[in-house]
Amino acid sequence: MIYISKIVNNRPIEKRIEYPYNIPSIINLENIILNKEVTFITGENGTGKSTLIEAVAINAGFNPEGGSRNFNFKTQDSHSELFEDIQLIRTAYRNTDGFFLRAESFYNVATAIDEYFAQSFYGGSLHECSHGESFLALLHHRLRGNGLYIFDEPESALSIVSQLNMLVRIQQLVKTKSQFIIATHSPILMAYPGADIFEVAIDGIKLISYEETEQYRLNKYFMNNRQQVLFELGFNL
C-alpha cells in the first residue's frame, strides 16, 4: 500500500541558499515519486539522506527524535528546518501504524518503548537487549502492518543474518499493507525485490538500478579482488 506518493520541495530555487536547502543534493531536488511499497535512499556520507528522511518523517507527523506518533518525549531540536518547505502528497489511504527510526537516537526510542508498553510484551526491557536484538524485537513485535515506516540506516546494528531476517519481515509487512522509506548503505536490504532505489549525490537525487549502486559494485569488487584492493591501499601482502 502506498500512503505517501510524492515528496515535493516547495522552496523556491533562489531561496535555497542556506543549510539545509543548500546541501547540493537538496538544491537540485524538486520531487521524488514514491510508487513502490519499498523505497530506498542511498548515497555517500554527508550527501543529505538523513536530512531528507527526517524532513519526510516530521511532515508525516512523527517526532523528530524517532518513534511512533504516540511518543512525545522531549527532543533536542536537532532536526533541520527542511521540513518547513517539504510537502508530502498523500494517497487516499490512511495508515494506522507507523514508526520513524532515527539511527542516532535509537536509545531514546528504546526508552520510550520501555515506558510505553508492558515490559512483558517484549519478554523484558529493550535496554537489556543488544541494539540489534532491540531493533529485531521492534520489527517483529511493535510493527503491526497498515503502517508507514521510515528508517534511517536500520542496518547499522544488524548482522548479515539479521538483515536477511529484516528482508523477510519487510515483505510480511508489505503484504499487510505497509510502506517503507529507508535510507541505507546495505546491499542486502536494497536487494528487496521490486523496490525503487534513489541515489542521493552532489548533482541531485536520481533513480538507479540495484547493480548501479555503489554498495553493490564496491562490495562485489572488493570481495572478488580483495588482495588487489588491499595492495592498492598500501598493504604489504
Ligand X SMILES: Nc1ncnc2c1ncn2[C@@H]1O[C@H](COP(=O)(O)OP(=O)(O)O)[C@@H](O)[C@H]1O
Q: How far is residue 134's CA from residue 173's CA, in Å, rounded to a whole number?
A: 18
CB of 159 to Mg ion, least distance (A): 21
Residue identified by cell 541558499 is: 17
45 or 227: whose CB is closer to Mg ion?
Answer: 45
Q: How far is residue 29's CA from residue 121's CA, in Å, rounded to a whole number?
A: 42
CB of 66 to Mg ion, least distance (A): 13
49 or 79: whose CB is closer to Mg ion?
Answer: 49
66 touching ligand X, by CB under 6 A: no
Q: How far is residue 107's CA from residue 66's CA, in Å, rounded to a whole number?
A: 10
How crowded is residue 225: how many other Cβ atoms within 10 Å of its Cβ? 12
21 or 151: whose CB is closer to Mg ion?
Answer: 151
CB of 60 to ligand X, least distance (A): 17
Q: Residue 45 touches which of ligand X, Mg ion, none (CB < 5 to 8 A by kind)?
A: ligand X
CB of 16 to ligand X, least distance (A): 13
Nine-digit cell string for 180: 517503507
Q: How far is residue 27's CA from residue 16's CA, in Å, rounded to a whole number?
A: 6
50 touching Mg ion, by CB under 5 A: yes
* Alpha-helical regions (H) of 20-130: 24-27, 49-59, 106-116
Query: Are 93 and 55 within 8 A, CB to CB?
Result: no
Contact region with Mg ion (CB under 5 A), list: 49-57, 76-84, 104-112, 172-180: 49-57
Site string for ligand X, 190-219 (x = CB under 6 A): ------------------------------
Considering only residues 6 to 25 of the shown chain, the ones binding ligand X according to CB under 6 A are 19, 23
Q: How far is residue 100's CA from residue 59's CA, in Å, rounded to a whole number?
A: 12
105 touching Mg ion, by CB under 5 A: no
Residue identified by cell 527526517 is: 54
- H or E element, residue 222: helix 214-224
Nine-digit cell string for 28: 537540485
47 or 213: whose CB is closer to ligand X?
Answer: 47
Q: How far is residue 229's CA from residue 149's CA, in Å, rounded to a whole number?
A: 37
CB of 82 to ligand X, least distance (A): 9
Considering only residues 34 to 63 of the shown chain, the ones binding ligand X according to CB under 6 A are 45-51
Contacts with Mg ion, residue ranges (CB under 5 A): 49-50
Q: Which residues bind ligand X (CB under 6 A)?
A: 19, 23, 45-51
